[in-house]
Amino acid sequence: MTKIHLLTVGLIVAASLSLILPMQVWAGVTNKDELRVLVKLRDWKGETAGWQKGVLGAREVRLISRRKPRDYVAAGKRKIAGDLRRWRVVTVPSGELSSVLEELKKDKIVTEVRVEQIYREAMVPNDPYFNQQYGLLNTSQSQADINAVLAWDKTTGLASTVIAIVDGGVDLTHEDLQHKIWLNSREAQGNGKDDDGNGFVDDVAGWDFVENKPAGYANTHATHVAGIAAAEGNNGIGVAGVDWQARGMSVRVLNRYGLGREADIAAGIDYATANGAKVINLSIAGGRSQIIEEAIENAYAAGVVVVAAAGNQGGDTGLLNLAPVCSEPVGINMVLGVGAIDEDGEPASFSNFGRCVDIAAPGKRIISTVLGNRYRSMSGTSMSAPLAAGVAGLYLASHPGAGPMEVIAAIKNGGLFTGEKASLWNERYKGYLDAAKVLGVAGVETPMVSPVPTSVPGVSGGVFKLGLIRQGALETAPGNEVNYQVRVENMGMGVASGVIIKDSFDRDLRLVAEKSSGSCRVSRRDVICEMGELAGGESRQIDLVYQVDALARCRARIINRAEVYAQEQGLSRRQAVSERTETRVICK
C-alpha cells in the first residue's frame, strides 16, 4: 500500500468516527436515547417568530441567557460581545438526530446547528494521604510554591470578592468552607419565588444547571477546587485557601461522573457573571466552543477575571484546540490559562502547555477539602487553576476596581524558571505563579520562621546545597571504573533529620559496593545513601564507585545526577538536585 493510500484510509476512518462519537461521548451524561442540539439563530427574537414550530414541534427548547450582550474595549476599539440570547438548546431523541439536524440546517433563521459537546474535569486522581500544602509554603524549592506567606502579609482578601466555582457542585456545609459560601442576599430561601427576578427560583447559594435547581448537590472535585481557592484561613481547621476572605459561589455544570454539557457551562458562566462574581474558575477541559467563547467574552466585558485549567494531556493547548483555556479572540487575553508544576518546581508531566497557557502553578498532590469534612490530595491542572483564581482575588482586594486585563497581566508577571531546561519551560508555561510578586512584595526571601496560619504545616530546618564531583576522564572504556564524590551541605540553622542522598545510575553501570561509602545500598537503578541527621552548617561527603559494563554500548553517554532528601512532617521530600555529569563510553 502506498503512502497516499494510507493517508486516504486514515481520513475515512476519522470521518466515520465523527458520526458515532456523540453517542460515546454522551455516555454517563444523560439518557442514552436523547441528545442535545445547539442552535444559533440569526435574530434573537426568532423564537417569537415561531421558527421552532414544524420540525421541532413540542420538543424541549431552552435559552442560555436573556441578557443583552456587553461591550468592552480591546486594542483601543469598542467591541460588542457575542449575543447569548441567540442560542437555543434542543433535546432530540437520538434516533431522530440526523433528520432534525438536516431540517434545522434548511431553516433560514438558523446560522449554526450541531450536537452539543461534552467537557470533563481537568483532574488526575492521585495519593489521597499526602498531607502538606507545599503549593503555599515550601522553603526547599523557590518555584514549587506560590509564595503565599509573603502575599498574606499584604492582604488576605476581602469578603466582597466572589469566586465562582463553575464545576460539579461545592459542599456548602464543609467545616472549612461553610463560612465562605456566597449567599444571594436578595433571595428568600424556600419560598418558591424568584425574589430578585434573575430568572432562578430560590438560588440562595448558587445554581445547579445539571438538575436545574438551587445549588445543593456537591461533588469531590468542585469541593477540592473551592478549598484551594478560598478555604477559611487561620481558623485552626483543615487547610488554608489562597484567599482567606473571598466567598465561593457554587455553580454546578458537571454531573456525578465529572462530565458537563457545553450549553450548561456557558449558562453557568453567564449566571456567575450576572450575579456578581469577580473571578470565575473553570477547572474543566474540552473542545473549542463558540457558545462558551461568547459567555467568556461577556464575562470579560463585565469586568470578570476568568481562570481556566490547561488540561492534562501533556500536549500543546493550541494544537489540541481546547476550551475553555483557549476560548478567547486572537490578540485579546480574556482567559488566564494555568498549567501545572510538581512539588519540585518542575512542569508536571501531565500538564498541557503552549499558546493558551499564561502561567504555571503547583498541581501535583495538592491537599484540599473534600466531601464529609475530610481532606485529601489530588493532582491535575484542575488544582493549579484555583491557586491562580485565589491570587486574582488577593489582587482585587489590594487593587479595587482593577479590570480583568490588569489582573491577568499582573498574574502573568510571575517568576521565571531556572536551570538547564529554563528556556523551554518559560516558552511553554510563561513562568510560574508568584503571589508575592503579583502583589508587589517580591524580592524578600521567605523567612524560616513565618507568621503562617495554623492550617499550614511547618517544614524542616534544612536548606540544602548539593554538589556532584566526577573524578577521572570525561571518556572511559567498557570495564573501567568511574568515581564520584557527592557533597551535601545543610545551609540552614535547624537540624534536618532523615537525610538521604539518591544517585540514579545508568544501565551501563554497576555499583562497586566495596569501594563505595558503607552507608549506601542499591534500590533498582538508584543508590540510596542514608546520612541520618545533618545539623545546620554541617556538610558531609560520600564516595561512589561504578564499573562500566563490559558490554556497554560504544559512544553511549553515561548520565549522573544526585539528589538529597530530608524529612518534613514525617514524609521524605526532595530538597536539592546536583548539576548532572556526563561521561562518554569509548570502545577501543
Provide the β-strand partners of residue 110: 41
Q: Tell me, what's the pLDDT at 4?
A: 27
Cα separation of 238 and 226, whole Å? 13
Q: Which residues contact 337 (CB under 8 A, 6 or more apart)?
A: 308, 310, 317, 325, 326, 356, 357, 358, 359
Highest-pLDDT range among 25-34, 47-56, 398-407: 398-407
Highest-pLDDT range among 50-54, 188-192, 305-309, 584-588: 305-309
Cα separation of 240 and 220, whole Å? 17
Q: Tell me, what's the pLDDT at 14?
A: 24
* Number of C-beta neighbours around residue 176 at 10 A: 25
Q: Which residues contact 447 (CB under 8 A, 6 or more apart)?
A: none
Cα separation of 442 and 17, whole Å? 51
- Strand order, beta sheet including 322-323: 259-261, 118-121, 284-287, 322-323
Highest-pLDDT range among 15-24, 39-48, 62-71, 87-96: 62-71
What residue spans in the chain does CATH classification 2.60.40.740 cover? 464-585
DSSP result, 133-202: -TTT--TT-GGGS--HHHHHHH----TT-EEEEEES---TT-TTTGGGB---TTS-TTSSS-TT-SS-TT
Q: Tell me, what's the pLDDT at 384?
A: 95
Q: In Å, what is the CA distance from 401 to each residue of 161, 165, 393, 394?
A: 11, 21, 12, 13
Q: Look up 167 and say whether it is catalytic.
A: yes
Q: Tell me, what's the pLDDT at 23?
A: 37
Catalytic residue, from 65, 107, 145, 221: name it.
221
Cα separation of 178 and 307, whole Å? 23
- Helix (H) and strand (E) counts in the chain: 11, 31
Q: Tell me, what's the pLDDT at 399?
A: 92
**The three cell numbers locating residue 435:** 503571589
The average confidence (pLDDT) of the chain is 80
- Strand order, beta sheet including 539-548: 464-471, 481-490, 539-548, 509-511
- H or E element: which one contains 15? helix 3-25
Superfamily (CATH) of domain 121-438:
Peptidase S8/S53 domain (3.40.50.200)
Name the one residue in this structure whose C-alpha cell is 434516533. Answer: 95
Catalytic residue, from 83, 107, 145, 167: name it.
167
* Number of C-beta neighbours around residue 378 at 10 A: 26
Q: Look up 382 and say whether it is catalytic.
A: yes
Highest-pLDDT range among 54-63, 133-142, 237-246, 266-275: 266-275
Average pLDDT over every residue of 530-557: 81
**The three cell numbers locating residue 303:** 469586568
Among 57-71, 168-182, 442-456, 539-553, where is mean pLDDT lowest?
442-456
* pLDDT cut 90: percent of the chain above it: 37
DSSP class of residue 539 equals: E
Catalytic residue, from 65, 327, 379, 382: name it.
382
* pLDDT greater than 50 at residue 124: no
What residue spans in the chain does CATH classification 3.30.70 cover? 25-116
**The three cell numbers locating residue 369:** 477539602
Average pLDDT over every residue of 238-261: 93
* Number of C-beta neighbours around residue 287 at 10 A: 15
**The three cell numbers locating residue 181:** 459560601
Residue 225's pLDDT band, with cuts at 50, 70 and 90, is: very high
Amino acid (one-letter) located at 190: G
Fold of the domain spanning 25-116? Alpha-Beta Plaits (3.30.70)
Among 12-16, 198-202, 283-287, where is mean pLDDT lowest?
12-16
Residue 459's pLDDT band, with cuts at 50, 70 and 90, is: very low
Residue 411 · residue 438 · CB < 8 Å: yes
Q: In Å, what is the CA distance from 372 to each residue of 223, 246, 375, 428?
A: 10, 22, 9, 38
- H or E element: which one contains 437? helix 435-438
- Better pLDDT: 575 or 342: 342
Q: Please tell me whether the peptide bond between 125 and the residue prior to it is cis, using omega within 30 degrees of 0.
A: no
- Better pLDDT: 470 or 78: 78
| Chain centre to alpha carbon of residue 334 | 17
**The three cell numbers locating residue 52:** 421552532
Q: What is the pLDDT of residues 363-416, one digit of tens each?
A: 988 889 999 999 988 889 999 999 999 999 999 999 988 999 999 999 998 888
Phi and psi for 161 in degrees, rounded to 5?
-80, 130
* pLDDT greater than 70 at residue 138: no
The architecture of the domain spanning 464-585 is Sandwich (2.60)
Residue 572 · residue 566 · CB < 8 Å: yes
How much is the pTM? 0.67
- Better pLDDT: 138 or 438: 438
